Amino acid sequence: MVYFVGQDDTLIMLGDVSFGGFDNIGLFLERLICHNIHLILGNHDHHIENNRDYVQGRFLSVQHYLEVNIEGKDFVLCHYPLQSWNGLNKGVIHLHGHVHLPETRKFGNGKRLDVGVDGNGMDPYSISDIIKIMDKRLKGSDMSGDHHLDGLVGVVG
């Protein structure tokens, strides 16, 4: 399904906005009509992290990591996939980019999802679809013996 990111929507980008070089940051952002953009820094975002020509002003916020509640669900957002995150044992959802996985490999064990557009037909994910998908997934970890899962019945690391 194709989603349109509207002018008043909130867009959270999970990094690598400056992958094409500094001059392409503005060109890319000018193609978006959305004004409410938060950036989680990626490994190619050194121009933005260093605030070259005050480019951070193009975003509502710029950070490496974000914990946020959206539509009653808790999320941990990071450019990089994490094996363990705050609230993993409570069903907190971890969204990331970085790894460019195909659609068939976008899930980690538990409630972790690669939301890179390159694994989604170049379309952004809607928060409602993410919540529907992740509500069906069990809590879990890619780390064998992760003590954060102690006490959860039927969950294996």
Q: pLDDT averaged over consecutive 10-residue blocks of the chain (157 residues)?
A: 78 91 91 93 95 96 97 96 90 91 77 84 85 90 63 53
Which tokens in the block code for residue 43? 């490994």
pLDDT for residue 154: 52
Task: Sort residue 101 into left (φ over 0), alpha (ψ -120 to 50) or beta.
Answer: beta
Q: In the chain, at which residue ranges do the beta strands (DSSP E only) sit?
A: 10-13, 36-40, 61-63, 65-70, 73-78, 93-96, 112-114
Its pTM stands at 0.85
- Domains, in order of start, for the chain: 10-142 (3.60.21.10)
